[in-house]
């Protein structure tokens, strides 16, 4: 069971732009769901947030969210705003992207809540992630990945 201090230390890594070190604290077989199948209507066409969905591993998450991560011109830094810890193996972590900009100049101050479950080794084994799906969709549409 991670302490509140341990959870903060894990998430402070991604706030410092050290995402590889952050992901060392995520189990390879993490159960990661990106919420937000919100219907977004743009110019009378309908679309869903492209990265919303269920990922059954760290690699699947990276592959499935590449359409977003490829849009950034600056490193992703998610700064902890708040943590609610149940004192056992679950925490809700509120995060905000700070100083992040897309390749086309779009500012990306996205806000997130990640509900995280930890195993006995203090690794994250499950995440339900909530975010501003409209901003994510605009970032991807305005900065399409190179194929």
Domain assignment present for 147? no
Query: By residue range, what is the domain housing residue 78?
Result: 4-141
CATH number of the domain bearing residue 113: 3.10.450.50
Question: Residue 118 contacts by C-beta under 8 Å, 6 or more apart in sequence?
Answer: 1, 2, 7, 89, 90, 91, 124, 125
CA 94, CA 103: separation in Å to the nearest integer?
25
Please give the C-alpha separations between residue 139 and each of 4, 23, 49, 72, 120, in angstroms, as whole numbers: 33, 23, 11, 9, 37
Domain assignment present for 72? yes
Share above pLDDT 70 across residues of the chain, in percent, rounded to a whole number:
92
List pLDDT tens digits, range 66-91.
Answer: 999 999 999 899 999 999 999 999 99
Domain assignment present for 146? no
Predicted TM-score (pTM) of the model is 0.89
Domain assignment present for 53? yes
Domain assignment present for 95? yes
Q: How many domains would you assign to the chain? A: 1
């Amino acid at each position: 069971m991670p302490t509140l201090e341990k959870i903060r230390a894990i998430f402070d890594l991604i706030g410092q732009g050290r995402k590889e070190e952050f992901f060392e604290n995520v189990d390879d077989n993490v159960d990661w769901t990106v919420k937000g199948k919100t219907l977004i209507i743009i110019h009378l066409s309908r679309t869903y947030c492209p990265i919303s969905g269920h990922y059954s591993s760290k690699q699947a998450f990276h592959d499935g969210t590449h359409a977003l991560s490829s849009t950034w011109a600056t490193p992703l830094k998610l700064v902890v705003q708040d943590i609610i810890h149940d004192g056992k193996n679950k925490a809700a972590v509120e995060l905000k992207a700070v100083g992040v900009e897309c390749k086309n100049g779009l500012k990306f101050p996205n806000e997130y809540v990640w509900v995280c479950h930890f195993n006995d080794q203090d690794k994250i084994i499950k995440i339900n992630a909530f975010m501003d799906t409209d901003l994510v969709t605009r970032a991807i549409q305005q900065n399409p990945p190179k194929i």
